[in-house]
């Protein structure tokens, strides 16, 4: 991220914060808003240096505009800022009211106290609202912001009880479905930092930035160089690959102690003799650190602990604090990857579609020669921000319709919380949902168990199935699920059904409207998965009932 690179390039401006980044694709310009404390450290010359450096980080062909705002809050201004953020980002808690938020500011520390009722307090704790607010303001301001929940029996309860209960249930399910896969290791030598005793998680389970994470794997592509800007700083970079074959880039910053005698004398106030002794000790310590970094060779098995954040190209990377050589026990090859099918649905219960009456084109219906006989299919359609990158692209709606022996059976539909801000809302308009309502729906991780149960032992029918299933597997693997269903290209199956039917005339099976018109099946929305999946399933049933 730009702010991390700024802190690395200008360590003296550690209180800089990136308030906003906005990209105007038509004007080919990037607008950045930086905040800084009003302490005189960031003068006009410094602003010019920072602006020039940001311009080098912007993609080629784009201009850059940087705006600076003073990072200063009063108790009233922070209360208003916090209330507006909660109202826009977490609308269910906007009923708490500004008068229930008490703010105290001492020096550079802010404490925000929520005076809420017992039920609201419990709901906020389960939803981890304070932790989420702390993460946001850590990147928004240089103030140290803490949030406290205080019980107040006079506080009113949230107005919409139904939405409140739904949000709490989602929070509980999110906690229950957290990945729990860890490697077993034996640490035998500390290379840098402190000894690591925690169990490392799978790299493939890293979905988002984390303040502290522990990973393990083999080192490759290791480089170690001295910083040009700061000769006392060494930067060690390497790729870490675990036993599941997934890789993450790691960066280790090693600061050497100052050994210049005059500098030590001026900083510590010691005499020349003591300063020389201290300089020699620091030189030995620096040499040990450097040798430890140089001893880290490609192919070594290590366990690392540090902060996981976004690096170049918006890819997750780890800033390593501690590193130890270790022995990693391999993943058992006998482990059954697919978890057993759940006994019941947790969040999404399928809707019965059997009451739908199939339309007939001839008096004598024949299904003896239908290619759908004795086969079970699930038509799987989604609405997403994209399907090319499992990390960046997000689903916002998913619909699956089962077809058994040529008959429509059940429909599985849900909106999905994408867990990120969506810029383009045209897709949401096609889906009939507002952006601020998506927070009340389950995440893709939370519905994996239900979707796996619904699609189990069925063939999948749809378009772009390879990409859709790859995205589903990305979120399913931490819970030991894998969608290994047989995949059928929708257009090919429909063409076979059409050729094997008594329906005459040519039709473009790639166009849902044309196919629905030919089969006399209603198609209300040709771009919304809830309608398209059911339309395709009904067309399959009609074509099957008219087989030659």
DSSP 351-410: EE-TTPPPP-SSSS-B-TT-TTTT-EEEEEEEEES-SS-TTT--EEEEEEEEEETTEEEE
SS3 222: strand
273: number of CA atoms within 13 Å, CB side? 0
pLDDT band at 157 (very low <50, low <70, confident <90, very high): low
Highest mean pLDDT among 50-54, 174-178, 478-482: 50-54
Pairing between β-strand 395-404 and β-strand 351-352 as defined by DSSP bridges:
unpaired
**Tens-place pLDDT, residues 341-374:** 878 888 888 998 875 554 444 444 556 678 888 8
- Predicted confidence at residue 177, as pLDDT, reads 56
- Predicted confidence at residue 502, as pLDDT, reads 83
Pairing between β-strand 395-404 and β-strand 407-415 as defined by DSSP bridges:
antiparallel
d(CA 536, CA 533): 5
Query: CATH assignment of 2-70?
Result: 3.30.300
Q: What would you report as the CA-atom Rg of the chain, rounded to the nearest whole angstrom? A: 29
Number of neighbours of residue 164 by Cβ within 10 angstroms: 19
Which segments of 15-160 does DSSP mark as H helices, in order? 44-57, 75-89, 118-126, 129-140
Rounded to an integer, the average pLDDT of 441-459 is 90
Pairing between β-strand 109-116 and β-strand 101-106 as defined by DSSP bridges:
antiparallel
pLDDT for 178 beyond 60: no
The CATH number of domain 75-176, selected from 3.30.300, 2.30.30, 2.60.34, 3.30.530: 3.30.300
Highest mean pLDDT among 46-60, 103-117, 257-271, 285-299: 103-117
Q: Helices 118-126 and 161-176 sit at what angle, rounded to 10 degrees?
A: 40
Query: CATH assignment of 185-328?
Result: 2.40.50.140
pLDDT for 99 beyond 80: yes
Q: Kindly report, as residue ranges, where domains of CATH 3.30.420.10 are found in the chain.
A: 351-545
Q: What is the DSSP string of 401-417?
A: EEEETTEEEEEEEEE--
d(CA 250, CA 265): 36
d(CA 6, CA 14): 9
- Predicted confidence at residue 20, as pLDDT, reads 85
d(CA 289, CA 323): 12
Query: Of 417, 393, 187, whose CA–CA distance to 303 is shortest?
Result: 187
Residue 471 exposed, middle or buried by CB count within 10 Å (0-12, 13-18, 19+): buried
Q: Kindly report, as residue ranges, where domains of CATH 2.40.50.140 are found in the chain.
A: 185-328
d(CA 51, CA 56): 9
Dihedrals φ, ψ of 104, to 5°? -125, 130
d(CA 75, CA 145): 12
- Predicted confidence at residue 363, as pLDDT, reads 43
Q: What angle do CA 31, 32, 36 make, to 5 degrees?
A: 155
pLDDT band at 331 (very low <50, low <70, confident <90, very high): low
Give me the residue label for tokens 């450097």: 290
pLDDT for 427 beyond 80: no
Rounded to an integer, the average pLDDT of 284-304 is 86
pLDDT for 110 beyond 90: yes
Rounded to an integer, the average pLDDT of 476-485 is 82
pLDDT band at 492 (very low <50, low <70, confident <90, very high): very high
- Predicted confidence at residue 168, as pLDDT, reads 61
Both structure tokens of 455:
């699609």
Query: Of 164, 88, 163, whose CA–CA distance to 120 is shortest?
Result: 164
Residues 6+ apart with CB under 8 A from 18: 1, 2, 3, 6, 32, 33, 34, 139
Share of residues in the chain with pLDDT > 90 (%)? 28
Q: Is the CATH number of domain 351-545 3.30.420.10?
A: yes
CA distances from 81 to 76, 144, 205, 322, 511 (A): 9, 15, 34, 37, 49
Max distance between CA atoms of the chain, in angstroms, equals: 109
When the pLDDT of each residue in the chain is averaged and rounded to a whole number, the result is 83
Q: Kindly report, as residue ranges, where domains of CATH 3.30.300 are found in the chain.
A: 2-70, 75-176
- Predicted confidence at residue 215, as pLDDT, reads 93
DSSP class of residue 311? -
Rounded to an integer, the average pLDDT of 480-500 is 89
Both structure tokens of 341:
């099918």
Query: What stretch of H or E contains 33?
Result: strand 29-36
pLDDT for 400 beyond 90: yes
pLDDT band at 399 (very low <50, low <70, confident <90, very high): very high
Q: What share of the chain is helix, strand, coil (3-state, %, to 5)?
A: 35, 30, 35
The mean-pLDDT minimum among 156-170, 317-331, 332-346 falls in 156-170
If phi over 0 gives left and psi between -120 and 50 gives alpha, with beta otherwise, what is residue 245? left
- Predicted confidence at residue 361, as pLDDT, reads 43
Which comes out higher in pLDDT, residue 289 or 159? 289
- Predicted confidence at residue 254, as pLDDT, reads 87
pLDDT for 239 beyond 90: yes
DSSP class of residue 479? G
Residue length of the chain: 548
Pairing between β-strand 395-404 and β-strand 376-384 as defined by DSSP bridges:
antiparallel
Dihedrals φ, ψ of 269, to 5°? 75, 15
SS3 147: strand
Q: 0.85 cut: is pTM over it?
A: no
Yes or no: say if 145 and 138 are a contact pair by the CB < 8 Å rule. Answer: yes
DSSP class of residue 202? P
């Amino acid at each position: 991220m730009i702010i991390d690179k700024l802190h690395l390039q200008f360590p003296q401006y550690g209180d800089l914060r990136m308030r906003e980044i906005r990209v105007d694709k038509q004007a080919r310009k990037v607008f950045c808003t930086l905040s800084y404390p009003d302490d005189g450290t960031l003068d006009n010359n410094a602003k010019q240096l920072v602006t020039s450096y940001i311009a080098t980080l912007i993609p080629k062909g784009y201009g850059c505009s940087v705006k600076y705002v003073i990072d200063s809050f009063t108790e009233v201004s922070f209360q208003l800022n916090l209330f507006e953020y909660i109202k826009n980002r977490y609308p269910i808690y906007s009923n708490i009211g500004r008068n229930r938020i008490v703010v105290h500011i001492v020096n550079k520390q802010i404490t925000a106290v929520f005076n809420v009722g017992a039920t609201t307090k419990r709901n906020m704790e389960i939803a981890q609202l304070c932790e989420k607010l702390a993460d946001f303001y850590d990147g928004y301001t240089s103030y140290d912001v803490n949030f406290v929940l205080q019980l107040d029996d006079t506080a009113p309860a949230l107005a919409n009880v139904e939405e409140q209960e739904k949000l709490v249930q989602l929070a509980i399910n999110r906690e229950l479905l957290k990945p729990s896969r860890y490697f077993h290791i034996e640490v035998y030598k500390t290379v840098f930092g402190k000894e690591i005793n925690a169990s490392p998680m799978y790299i493939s389970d890293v979905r988002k930035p984390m303040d502290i994470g522990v990973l393990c794997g083999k080192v490759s592509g290791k480089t170690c160089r001295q910083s040009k800007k700061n000769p006392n700083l060494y930067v060690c970079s390497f790729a870490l690959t675990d036993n599941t074959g997934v890789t993450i880039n790691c960066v280790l910053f090693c600061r050497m102690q100052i050994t210049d005698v005059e500098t030590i004398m001026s900083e510590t106030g010691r005499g020349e003799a003591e300063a020389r002794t201290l300089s020699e000790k620091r030189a030995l310590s620096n040499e040990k650190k450097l040798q430890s970094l140089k001893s880290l060779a490609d192919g070594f098995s290590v366990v690392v602990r540090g902060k996981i954040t976004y690096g170049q190209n918006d890819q997750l990377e780890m800033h390593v604090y501690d590193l130890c050589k270790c022995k990693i026990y391999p993943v058992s090859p006998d482990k059954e990857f697919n978890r057993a099918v759940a006994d019941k649905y947790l969040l999404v219960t399928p809707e019965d579609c059997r009451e739908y009456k199939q339309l007939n084109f001839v008096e004598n219906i024949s299904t003896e020669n239908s290619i759908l006989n004795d086969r079970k299919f699930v038509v799987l359609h989604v609405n997403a921000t994209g399907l090319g990158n499992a990390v960046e692209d997000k689903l916002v709606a998913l619909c699956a319709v089962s077809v058994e022996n040529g008959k429509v059976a059940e429909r599985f539909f849900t909106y999905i919380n994408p867990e990120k801000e969506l810029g383009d809302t045209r897709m949401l308009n096609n889906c009939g949902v507002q952006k601020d309502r998506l927070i009340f729906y389950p995440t893709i991780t939370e519905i994996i168990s239900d979707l796996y149960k619904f699609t189990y032992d069925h063939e999948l029918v749809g378009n772009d199935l390879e990409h859709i299933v790859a995205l589903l597997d990305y979120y399913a693997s931490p819970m030991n699920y894998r969608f290994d269903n047989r995949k059928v290209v929708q257009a090919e199956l429909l063409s076979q059904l059409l050729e094997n039917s008594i329906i005459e005339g040519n039709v473009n099976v790639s166009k849902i409207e044309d196919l629905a018109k030919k089969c006399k099946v209603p198609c209300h929305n040709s771009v919304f998965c809830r309608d398209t999946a059911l339309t395709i399933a009904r067309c399959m049933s009609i074509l099957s009932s008219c087989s030659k």
